[in-house]
Amino acid sequence: MSRISRRDLGDGARGFGLGALILIATVLVVALVGALIWAIGVFSSDTAGTGNVHKDQQSAQNREHWSATYNGDYAQVKADQDNLTTLKSAAEGQDATQQDRTNYLGAQLNCRTDVATYNADAANVLGHQWIPDGLPSTLNAATYCGSN
């Protein structure tokens, strides 16, 4: 059986200490690289976000979507106006019934809802710039739907 000397123990301790030091240094380097990658991502996210918003705003798909939305909303309001013209003459006619007046008031409420939808779409941050030529930027419910 061989005897372990103090010198052998000292060499082993130095070897273990060197291995631990290398392990700690490796962990620190990996953490530093990870922190650096995280910082680059954080500090460049505003630039990337701004670029993505700009691409979304200028995309043909976005333009087509908003054009169809505004045209559809405006067509609904114009259809409401046509219905109101018909219902108003019935509600104010000589033989008007309570049902005729109720129908007219209900159509006015529907028209006001459709005007509110158009105005909400027109106030949309991404969509307001794509209001088609010839359509107003906002609608006035009293003008388009009549007053009660």
User: Does the structure show a pLDDT above 90 at 4?
Assistant: no
Q: How many CB atoms lie within 10 A of CB 89?
A: 12
Mean pLDDT of the chain: 83
pLDDT digits (tens, 9 = 90+) for 42-61: 777 666 666 666 676 677 78
Quick one: pLDDT at residue 142?
92
Quick one: pLDDT at residue 125?
73
Write the DSSP symbol of residue 126. Answer: T
Quick one: pLDDT at residue 148?
57
Q: 3-class DSSP state for residue 142?
A: helix
Is the distance from CB of 131 to CB of 137 less than 8 angstroms? yes
Backbone angles phi, psi at 140, to 5 degrees: -100, 120
- Can you give the C-alpha Rg of the chain in angstroms? 36
pLDDT digits (tens, 9 = 90+) for 99-133: 999 999 999 999 999 999 999 998 887 777 888 88
What burial class does residue 137 get, using C-beta atoms within 10 Å of its C-beta: 0-12 exposed, 13-18 middle, 19+ buried?
exposed
What burial class does residue 73 get, using C-beta atoms within 10 Å of its C-beta: 0-12 exposed, 13-18 middle, 19+ buried?
buried
